[in-house]
Structure 1
Amino acid sequence: MSARKTDENDIVVIGLGRFGSHLAGSLARLDHEVLAIDRSPERVQRWSAELDRVVQADATEEGALRQLGVAEFQRAVVAIGASVEASVLTVLALTELGVPQIWARATSEKHAKILASVGAHHVIFPEAETGERVAHLIISKMLDFIEFDDQFAIAKVRVPGTMVGRSLRDMPPAERCGVMVVGAKLPGEPFRYATPDTVLRPDSVLIVEGSITQVQRFASLG
């Protein structure tokens, strides 16, 4: 497979075990182009019918990733769980390529510290996360995200710049993408439930609720 021009919606997923394959599938269903990489020919063959771009390669080799055009991607997820060494070396290779956002799966606190020290920007523990939830976090500016069965979601997001210095009373639902602001954590203050008179300050963190689409749109305002 040769390199091709990518856009900011393209995401690399390395490792097609249980978590990586579910994550790649969730990202694809969210209309993101996914380049999936695994060193196992059996896994590559299995998922080639489900995903658009599945490649067999050793992701610990910087040269192999460069040949696949991974350096052109904005986001990469290292979902390798069976080998700590392979996950660490893959993060190192992605760091050398200059990938701006590197997400990496950790199997222990010690593993997480190593991943962070070698260049991972976000460390995740899939045993406590679902592939779909992580997919939403990766593609948005949300700080945290909980999805319910009826397309309803609650998220933690930073206050959008256009809302700084304004009260919630001054912002109609349309301007808030239809979400309800439940609470606000203002800088230097404890979390408080939001009221119409709550004035949003820079670096405030909001808890919002609404449909998944509404919450994602609101998060993208930042």
Structure 2
Amino acid sequence: MFSRSDAASVAAADSVAVIGLGRFGRALALELMANGTEVLGIDADESIVQELNGHLTHVVCADSTREEVLKQLAVPEFDRVVVSIGSDIQASILTTSLLLRSDVEHLWAKAVNDAHGTILEQLGVRHVVYPEKEMGRRVAHLVRGSMQDYLEIGDGFSLVKMAPPLGIVGKSLGESRVRSTAGVTITAVRPKGGTWTHTSETTVIAASDTILVSGPTAKAEAFSLRR
């Protein structure tokens, strides 16, 4: 079992506890590990825990709906806690409630639908995520336009990776006046085979470049459809 002294040493660094190691939780935990974060993974399924043994800093088979288990694993002491339980909404809500009662400040929780998310928000979770819903919206924008990648920042504002419209090829950004005519900003450019660099008024866009565009979602999408 993961001792309190072990947990304290992990929490002194950048540490995250991920509760629920299904597809979302597993991907999250492994990505955190890949970026140097120490991760405690918790799941009620022994087979999942065995699969991830050696891939996370610590991985434990435990029932997160029991307050004494969360305290024994020192979960409230971690820098961040993510409740990514999706298959059992009752377990998600109870686990989240126990963590909030333990004054976990930086808590994220996965919601599988709007009703689940509403309950989490009413409990007091400030960071509720909807992985399936958000991915569906993202893919919809990619399918509609000619974007290579898309990230909605919030409040209708997005970052879009795309090939440059023909109308701006061979021109400097100052000359093409993208911001005033399209309502978006080309913030970075990557030549074919090159690396990303910030743009300026004198940056000239080539047909083979990839550009990063920021702006209101509707305008960024419209810009990606220009020919």
Superposition TM-score, scaled by structure 1 size: 0.59
1:13 and 2:18 matched: yes
1:97 and 2:102 matched: yes
Query: Runs of 5+ in structure 1 lacking a partner?
Result: 131-147, 158-181, 184-191, 195-206, 216-222
1:43 corresponds to which residue? 48
Distance 1:8 1:41, change over 3 A: same
> For 2:98, what is the secondary structure of its paired residue?
helix
Once the two structures are TM-superposed, the CA of residue 16 in structure 1 deviates from its matched residue by: 0.7
1:83 and 2:83 matched: no
> For 2:18, what is the secondary structure of its paired residue?
strand
CA distance in 2, matches of 1:70, 1:210: 42
Select which of 23, 28, 38 maps to 1:33. Answer: 38
Distance 1:209 1:25, change over 3 A: farther
CA distance in 2, matches of 1:193, 1:53: 45
Write out aligned runs for 1:171-210 (5 A).
none
CA distance in 2, matches of 1:18, 1:87: 15
> For 2:32, what is the secondary structure of its paired residue?
helix
Once the two structures are TM-superposed, the CA of residue 214 in structure 1 deviates from its matched residue by: 9.8
Write out aligned runs for 1:132-143 (5 A).
none
Aligned-residue identity in percent? 39
CA distance in 2, matches of 1:123, 1:214: 33
Once the two structures are TM-superposed, the CA of residue 209 in structure 1 deviates from its matched residue by: 5.5
Query: Runs of 5+ in structure 2 lacking a partner?
Result: 136-147, 155-177, 191-195, 199-227
Superposition TM-score, scaled by structure 2 size: 0.58
- Calculate the aligned-residue CA RMSD, in Å: 3.4
1:22 and 2:27 matched: yes
1:2 corresponds to which residue? 3
Once the two structures are TM-superposed, the CA of residue 76 in structure 1 deviates from its matched residue by: 0.6
Once the two structures are TM-superposed, the CA of residue 129 in structure 1 deviates from its matched residue by: 4.7
Aligned residue pair count: 154
CA distance in 2, matches of 1:116, 1:20: 20
